[in-house]
């Protein structure tokens, strides 16, 4: 990473890059990031989070997905799978989801720093939570529905209502979680049941809830077609190729794409 980084990256240089890309104070933005793509940063993920906060300011809102897929039914695990004879005991002993302490899984170092940062709130969903900071953090994270956790009762829908933006910071549309909101709005996906341990009236319970069968394999194709038709701001943050665009535009486009591909 140091060899790829020609200029030292700091909180200040990243903030300048974010402004050049189009981020402004007061904006609501959901961020997807790859720290290694940004290059070597003095301060690492802490500096990235602070740079985002410097630009957006408390008058805006920063959102990140803080998903924790390990808080799920072991019968569905494949990376890695566990022996079937363990499943029952895992369900009985897995700690209940706690937004304050439950770690994320495979979401990156920037997300892990952000979720624990002072002033950040996290929605209550055992596998599909989001964290938010700033003016609309409570609006975005409150009342996250267990059923269809990336649908109308999710922080994604609240970002849509706030006319927010999507920032892809060194990652591709494969990481664009907002496309899952479009999947939920289609109404044509197979409904599945999932299970996780949660706290209910102060007691740990294994809760079963509904979701749609999701497929992100086509997200990159959808993103490429979206960028051909809608305004997208391109630039570099550190050495990371980055994109900024309106979330409502991308969700509406993806919904039409899904509907047309199923006709």
Q: How confident is the model at residue 4 (pLDDT cuts 50, 70, 90)?
A: confident
Residue in the structure block whose two tokens are 């990371």 = 240
Percent pLDDT > 70 in the chain is: 100
Q: Are 4 and 78 in contact (CB under 8 A)?
A: no
pTM equals 0.94
pLDDT at 97 (0 to 100): 96
Token couple for 209: 């809830």
What's the domain range around 128?
A: 11-261
Please give the mean pLDDT across all residues of the chain: 95
- Residue 3 forms part of a structural domain: no
For residue 80, pLDDT over 90 is answered with: no
Mean pLDDT of the 9-25 span: 98
pLDDT at 198 (0 to 100): 96
Q: How confident is the model at residue 78 (pLDDT cuts 50, 70, 90)?
A: confident
Q: How confident is the model at residue 6 (pLDDT cuts 50, 70, 90)?
A: confident
- Residue 4 forms part of a structural domain: no
- Residue 52 forms part of a structural domain: yes
Burial class (CB in 10 A: 0-12, 13-18, 19+), 119: exposed
- Residue 105 forms part of a structural domain: yes
Q: For the chain, how many structural domains are there in total?
A: 1
99-103 long-range CB contacts below 8 Å, 24 or more apart? Answer: 99/123, 99/124, 99/129, 102/68, 102/71, 102/126, 102/129, 103/68
Strands 130-134 and 61-65: antiparallel
- Residue 19 forms part of a structural domain: yes
Q: How confident is the model at residue 215 (pLDDT cuts 50, 70, 90)?
A: confident
Helix axes 44-56, 11-21, angle to 10 degrees: 50
For residue 263, pLDDT over 60 is answered with: no
pLDDT digits (tens, 9 = 90+) for 174-184: 999 999 999 99
Mean pLDDT of the 10-26 span: 98
- Residue 171 forms part of a structural domain: yes
- Residue 1 forms part of a structural domain: no
Q: How far is CA 94 from CA 11, 146, 238, in A?
A: 38, 18, 40
Q: How confident is the model at residue 121 (pLDDT cuts 50, 70, 90)?
A: very high
Percent pLDDT > 90 in the chain is: 88
pLDDT at 34 (0 to 100): 96
pLDDT at 79 (0 to 100): 83
- Residue 139 forms part of a structural domain: yes
């Amino acid at each position: 990473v140091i060899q790829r980084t020609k200029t030292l990256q700091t909180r200040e240089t990243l903030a300048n890059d974010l402004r050049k890309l189009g981020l402004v104070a007061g904006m609501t933005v959901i961020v997807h990031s790859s720290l290694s793509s940004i290059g070597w940063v003095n301060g690492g993920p802490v500096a990235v989070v602070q740079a985002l906060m410097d630009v957006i300011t408390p008058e805006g809102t920063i959102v990140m997905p803080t998903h924790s897929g390990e808080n799920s039914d072991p019968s569905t695990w494949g990376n890695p799978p566990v022996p079937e004879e363990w499943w029952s005991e895992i369900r009985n002993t897995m700690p209940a989801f706690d937004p304050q302490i439950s770690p994320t899984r495979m979401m990156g170092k920037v997300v892990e720093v952000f979720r624990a940062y002072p002033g950040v709130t996290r929605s209550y969903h055992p596998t599909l939570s989001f964290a938010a900071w700033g003016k609309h953090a409570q609006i975005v994270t409150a009342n996250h529905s267990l059923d269809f956790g990336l649908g109308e009762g999710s922080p994604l829908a609240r970002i849509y209502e706030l006319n927010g933006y999507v920032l892809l910071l060194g990652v591709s549309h494969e990481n664009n979680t907002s496309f899952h909101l479009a999947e939920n709005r289609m109404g044509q996906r197979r409904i599945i049941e999932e299970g996780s341990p949660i706290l209910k009236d102060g007691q740990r319970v294994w809760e079963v809830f509904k979701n749609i069968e999701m497929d992100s394999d086509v997200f990159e194709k959808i993103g490429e077609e979206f960028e051909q038709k809608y305004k997208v701001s391109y630039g570099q943050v550190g050495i990371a190729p980055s994109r900024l665009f309106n979330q409502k535009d991308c969700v509406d486009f993806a919904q039409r794409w899904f509907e047309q591909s199923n006709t």
